Amino acid sequence: MKKTLLLSVLASTMIMAGGDIAPVEPMVETPSADETPFSMPMGISLLGGVTRDTETHDEWDPVYGAEFSFPCLISDDIRQQIQFTYTENKDDGIPDNKMMQLSVNPHYIFNRGDTVEFGAGPHLGLARVELADEDDTIFTYGLGVSLKTDISGDFFVGVDARYEWTTDAEFNGIEGNFNNAKVFAKIGYQF
């Protein structure tokens, strides 16, 4: 009984001495609805440029396509680019061939936030190659660099250069690769 009475007196004394008690701020900060997890915007763009098959000929052929880019989930210093490209080779003496390619190109952005951004990174892709009446699917891999600048509002322009190695394709029992170099410009809209 003495302990209960002593604890009651002690508790009431502390309450009376404390006066108004300010509410305690939460220890965990919750993000507001206005905050976005990434500082780089997503973008869509059209591509146009040239490519050269380094194994079969020295002439440059047109390449064009589209790109969707967005911040990588691992780090917002990495910009992920998903590209679809198409090229057609019509050289004299070499059978016509076409290549449709879907690739991913994560680029580390070295000067993120500047008006002009420079990036570099690997390339992985899947391509369908058509030669005469046959077709084959091959894998592509390589390295590339990119340069991008905002031109006005949400519009941007850029330039990419890339070297790609490929697995061998087989046509009429003959295997060969389609290693190539690509250089292309892009114009796009970011949101």
Residue 157 reports pLDDT greater than 70:
yes
pLDDT one-digit tens code per residue, 36-75? 454 668 999 999 999 998 776 678 899 999 999 999 888 8
Q: What is the pLDDT of residues 114-140, one digit of tens each?
A: 788 999 999 999 999 998 788 999 999
Cβ(119)–Cβ(106) under 8 Å?
no
Q: What is the distance between the alpha carbons of residues 125 and 141, in angstroms, rounded to a whole number?
A: 6
Domain 43-190 matching CATH 2.40.160.20: the answer reads yes
Task: Report CA 58 to chain centroid distance, whole Å.
Answer: 30
**Pick from 109, 119, 99: which is nearest to 166 by CA?**
99
Pair 47, 29: CB distance under 8 Å: no
Instruction: Provide the residue ranges of all domains of the chain, joining segments of one domain with +.
Output: 43-190
Q: Is the pLDDT of residue 96 over 80?
A: no
Predicted model pTM = 0.74
Is beta strand 61-71 parallel, antiparallel or unpaired with respect to 107-109? unpaired
